[in-house]
Homo-oligomer: A and B are copies of this chain.
Amino acid sequence: MTTSAPAARMPRQDRSRATRRRLLEAAVECLAEVGWNGSTVLVVAERAGVTRGAAQHHFRTREDLFTAAVEHVAAERLAAALAHVEQLPPPGPARTEAVVEMIVHLYTGPLFRAALHLWVAAATEEPLRSRITGLENHIGREAHRAAVECLGADESAQGVRETVQATLDLARGLGLANLLTDDGPRRAGVVRQWSRLLDAALAG
């Protein structure tokens, strides 16, 4: 008993973690596709192939589920991007452009769409609002730190901090411009030009 108990508990914990992860990924897909109105715990549970009861065991409320989902997926995507840092070109214009492309890519996919639906719902729904405000600050800080690291930016130099922030704000704006139509071709030109200006600003 004493030796088999921990071994028996582990697979159950693994299963529980896997269920939780499936729910989080399904919640982001669901938000991105149908928006906040159509995104309920039940819809997400069905998409994840999980019973409603199991979903409610993991997440007590709809707000819990979707806030945790955006936080989890944002952290995963950022970690995935950072895992490829050593494959970036050496410092210089090519690296700067690769980093800007990486950042903009994070802001133009399903995760950004999902976050946007949640942000906009939070603007008029109080229980959601305070949750999302905290989450927005957290994600913003992490994204900023990652951008500084990848760009090799020296934030002690005047204006550098604001230049990096502007890059993230630009990425958010490009994400918004991509919401209703495929803005890819126009965006490519803006990304290329901003990368040139950013590289010169960071170098000078």
**Chain A residues engaging chain B, CB cutoff 8 angstroms:** 33-35, 37-38, 113, 116-117, 119-124, 129, 132-133, 136, 140, 159, 161-163, 165-166, 168-177, 179-181, 186, 189-190, 192-194, 196-197, 201
Contacts and interface: CB of A to CB of B under 8 A. Distances in A.
A134 to B, nearest CB: 10
B169 A177 contact: yes
Nearest to A172: B173
Contact of A179 (B117, B123, B189): B123
A172 B162 contact: no
Contacts of A159: 193, 196
Contacts of A37: 37, 124
A130 to B, nearest CB: 9
A196 B163 CA distance: 10
